[in-house]
Amino acid sequence: MLGADTRERSDCHRLHHHLRRWHLVLRPGVPGRRRHASPPGVPGGHPAELACAVHPLAARGPEPQVATKASRAVFTPSIDISVRIKAPAELIWQALVDEDLRELWWADSEFKIKRGAKISARSLRPGKKKPRITSGNITKIDAPEELHFTWKTKAGDFETNVVLVVVQQKDKKSKVRVLEQGFPRGDYAEIHVAKYRDGWREHLLQLQELFEDGPGRKLATNSLKHS
């Protein structure tokens, strides 16, 4: 059996052979160790110094992590909602002009297609007994494509601008689009926008159903003939 001294010398010999194989330089001044030559072009010294000479970036360590603030997207309180309907644009416009037809998809709305005319609409409020009343004036008419108006709630806290657009598309289909801007910015902006968007979505879907699953096409055609 090997003694403790013999095993220690054997371990040191293997370590010394390993360091020499990879051209590492032992710390100078250690008793019982002989300094080996450094690789060509590389200064001698401690293994850590050698590593810095071969890889200068290692001396600096890892690059510091720079904290950056993610830019928060600016929320613009507005509505842009649309629906495609299998009907010609002129018939859909007639469903907007004719008060009896309009009552079938936009109930409780009152207005005449005339510039400067008053416009008003009532809508139910969840959990409230009294409906929301919105009123204003028609500012521009570009028949049979665009209807512009401004309105505000009875409380009068803010006024919005609305553009209702009817665009003719291929295969006798049309696109009805509603754009509304002017909502106040602030903590409740998203709540206001969500309420108004839900209301427009309901009206547009009822208009689509009137023409695709109901008598909308026939009624609008007859109304157009007698207008």
Most confident of 14-18, 47-51, 173-177, 192-196: 173-177
pLDDT tens across 111-122, in order?
999 999 999 999
pLDDT at 135 over 80: yes
pTM (two decimals): 0.66
Contact present, 226 and 100 (Cβ < 8 Å): no
- SS3 sequence of 164-210: EEEEECCCCCEEEEEEEECCCCCCCHHHHHHHHHHHHHHHHHHHHHH
Name the CATH superfamily housing domain 78-225: START domain (3.30.530.20)
Q: What is the largest CA-CA distance in the chain?
A: 120
221: exposed, middle or buried (Cβ count in 10 Å: 0-12, 13-18, 19+): middle
Q: Where are the domains of the chain?
A: 4-60, 78-225
Q: Do the strands 159-168 and 174-181 form a parallel or antiparallel pair, or are they unpaired? A: antiparallel
pLDDT tens across 47-100, in order?
545 444 545 544 455 554 544 444 445 668 999 999 999 999 999 999 999 999
Beta bridge partners of 162: 149, 180
Residue 134 identity: T
Percent of the chain with pLDDT over 70: 67
List, in sequence order, the alpha helices (H) in 27-137.
Answer: 47-54, 57-60, 89-97, 99-105
pLDDT at 25 over 70: no
Contact present, 92 and 166 (Cβ < 8 Å): yes
Backbone angles phi and psi of 126, in degrees to 5: -55, 125
Helix (H) or strand (E) holding 14: helix 4-21
Neighbours of 34 (CB within 10 A): 8
